[in-house]
Amino acid sequence: MAKLYFYYASMNAGKSTNLLQADFNYRERGMATMLFTAGIDERFAAGTITSRIGLEAAATPFDATTEIAACVADRHAHEALSCVLVDEAQFLSADQVDQLAHVADVVGIPVLAYGLRTDFLGALFPGSARLLALADALVEIKSVCTCGRKATMNLRVDAAGKAVAQGRQTEIGGNDLYIALCRRHFTEALGRRHFTEALVR
């Protein structure tokens, strides 16, 4: 039986690299795959999944209106797919995650979704929340805080490197905008009051 997997991590933990390696493994064995990535992320070429170590692959960009299950069904009708891989899965809607579950359960294609678990205030993204609820397997890709402990949180910083405690949930950026930290140092940098307020929203 095909499964829905959610690979989650903090920023800069190698999620895209892991996805591209998994895709390569399938294709090396002559198996067809379909890749999706968030259309909102325009740091690199549109419709491309790019890792920090230079790997990249073409992907279908998605936004809130994308019917992912229909896209997969259309492609699967012309070429038997062995796996569907989704980058930036935190930007999926709850309905799109339900569609991915349908792809695994009904169509019978394994789905590997990669993304952040929480935003810069420690709150769940809608897509991640639904994946945590529905995924058959939850796999943490580990990263390291500056103190050596496991990094689980994503601190947003301004141009001066100071913590940002308010703003839109989604703001695309890399090392210039986010720092991966353990919970202790994230809470200290953000301020316990802001962290607590985010948790009770």
The DSSP call for residue 142 is P
The values of phi and psi at residue 133, to 5°, are -80, -35
- pTM for this one? 0.86
Catalytic residues: 88
What confidence tens digit (pLDDT) does each residue in 50-84 have?
Answer: 777 667 889 999 999 999 999 999 999 999 999 99
The annotation places the binding site for substrate at 178
**Number of residues that make up the chain:** 201
pLDDT band of 201, cuts 50, 70, 90: very low
As given in the structure block, the two tokens for residue 99 are: 């569609």
Please answer whether residues 171 and 141 qualify as being in contact, where contact means their C-beta atoms are separated by less than 8 angstroms.
Answer: no
Which residues fall in the annotated binding site? 9-16, 87-90, 145, 147, 178, 182, 185
How far from 11 is each of 72, 165, 192, CA to CA, in Å?
28, 17, 21
Binding residue numbers for ATP: 9-16, 87-90
CATH of domain 4-142: 3.40.50.300
Task: Work out the number of other CB atoms within 10 angstroms of the CB of residue 196.
Answer: 12
Phi, psi of 83 (to 5 degrees): -165, 145
Write out pLDDT tens, residues 19-50.
999 999 999 999 999 999 998 755 555 678 87
